[in-house]
Amino acid sequence: RVTFGNRTVSNGCELKPSMVAQQPRVEVGGNEMRTFYTLVMVDPDAPSPSDPNLREYLHWLVTDIPGTTGASFGQEVMCYESPRPTMGIHRFVLVLFQQLGRQTVYAPGWRQ
């Protein structure tokens, strides 16, 4: 479950830039503390939907999130960078991957 402030995010919902200025709360759920997850948040429309030459711009990367908790309990590899779309409506994609085990993940050199 993903929430920005008190607004729960669902597929296709619209959020104003002011609503995504702060890092969202992400709850993984589940009932297995020894299962770990990686959360990735990207913008496939950067810098603009008509010219997405920076597609898959990385806004957030968190690894080793225990299955019964949320993103705040994981390892923040790339800190949350609030979206600041300059033109048009942007899509933001949050993907949660189940890990095979704990891993060392290094931050990429850049977000693009």
Domain holding 7: CATH number?
Answer: 3.90.280.10
* Predicted pLDDT at 102: 87
- Residue 107 falls within a domain, yes or no? no
- Residue 112 falls within a domain, yes or no? no
Label residue 85 by pLDDT band (50, 70, 90): low
The rounded distance, in Å, linking the Cα atoms of 99 and 70 is 15
Note if the pTM is more than 0.85.
yes
The rounded distance, in Å, linking the Cα atoms of 69 and 84 is 28
Distances, alpha carbon 73 to alpha carbons 37, 39, 55, 76, 101, in Å:
11, 12, 28, 9, 16
* Predicted pLDDT at 93: 93
- Residue 64 falls within a domain, yes or no? yes
Q: What count of residues does the chain have?
A: 112
Number of domains the chain is built from: 1
- Residue 51 falls within a domain, yes or no? yes
- Residue 105 falls within a domain, yes or no? no
Label residue 81 by pLDDT band (50, 70, 90): very high
- Residue 109 falls within a domain, yes or no? no
Label residue 8 by pLDDT band (50, 70, 90): very high
